[in-house]
Amino acid sequence: MKTDQIYQKLKNDMVTGILPAGTKLPVEEKLALDFGCARKTLRAALSKLEKEGRLERLRAHGTFVRQPQLTPEQKVLSILIPYPEFISKNLLSSSSVNYFFRIWGGAALAAMQKGWRLQTIPFSKTNDPADIDYESLECLQEDSRLLICSAWYQNAFPLFVQRKVRAGFILEKIEPDAPVAKYLDQWIYTYTDIASMKRNLIHYLYETLHCRRAVCLALDLDYPIISMAKPYRQACKEVGMFYAEKRLVGDPSDYARQTAEFRKEMNADVILIQTGSYPLPPDGMTYHEYFQLPDHVQIVSENEESAYHFNDYHIIGGNPFECGYVTTEKLLDDIYVPQKFEVNGNWKKPE
């Protein structure tokens, strides 16, 4: 093996914890034999690692792995955002922005406790996931720490893997055959099993509240990354509940009319709102009043933002603050160990 290959192999073993700090390396003769190289070649690789602060040679004791100390300038956790004006223009729905801000709040707390700072990196100048701003991503190199909060950025995932970026990925529990699934064994992946919550909620509505007819309204009924409406379909089939779905179209201000008409047409007693960008009712009005619904109709939403204003429907969602905190805490550990974490979600019932 060549010097660079030996260097990279030993460094990867140190970064991933195979050779944790404090490990004593075998003597040079054995290492050279293991790598199938000359001792001169091996020494060049070891010397390079020593200059980086990853190895320490102690006379009469041997060579030991050590954790290099990062400078304050190097302690930066990067967070991807879609485009430069994402935060100031606030073009996403209030619920989506609220979701990301809570993830970042958890990440900021964990980073502060470990002495790290945050920076945001715009992914695209045009808010188009296919139009990647590679110049903006240039700072993400080997051992950089990166927090990814959406599969929207998946076009750059091969680049992050190639550069050996240390990434933390936060999303709902994804489908096993989703395009991004192949990357998760190499990263820290934190998820909430929203699909199971949806199935449990349908069983509750059917068995406890005796609901019998459900309609689902969404912007995207099927999405290749996460389950979306699929768990609702499956659960309704399991319990024998009527189920119909409709894709919302046009201006968001017209969603309420589409919802009310479809609910009436299907004679449904359950409305499943499958989008976080659903507009909130006007001040002082509940969702039942907004949709002109009978009191017995149950509403289920994933718009957690409205939980602060209304109490007449069910809300299911993740725990973004905890997801941000847990992921960042592990991402900033000295030893980077790809792993999966499940964070419990929230289910708020009508009061």
**Do residues 321 and 349 touch, judged by C-beta distance below 8 A?**
no
Walking along the chain (351 residues) 10 residues at a time, the average pLDDT comes out as 88 80 88 91 92 85 80 88 75 64 94 95 93 92 92 94 93 83 93 90 95 87 60 95 90 86 96 74 80 90 58 79 96 89 85 69
pTM to 2 decimal places: 0.74
Structural domains of the chain sorted by starting position, each given as residue range(s) with its CATH number in brackets: 3-65 (1.10.10.10), 76-193+320-348 (3.40.50.2300), 194-316 (3.40.50.2300)
Interatomic CA distance for residues 75 and 213, integer angstroms: 54
pLDDT at site 121: 95
pLDDT at site 308: 44
**Do residues 155 and 188 touch, judged by C-beta distance below 8 A?**
no
Interatomic CA distance for residues 314 and 277, integer angstroms: 16
DSSP per-residue letters across 296-343: T-EEEE--GGGGGT--SSEEEE--HHHHHHHHHHHHTSSS---EEEE-
pLDDT at site 304: 59
Interatomic CA distance for residues 83 and 164, integer angstroms: 23
Q: Which two tokens stand for residue 6?
A: 């030996």
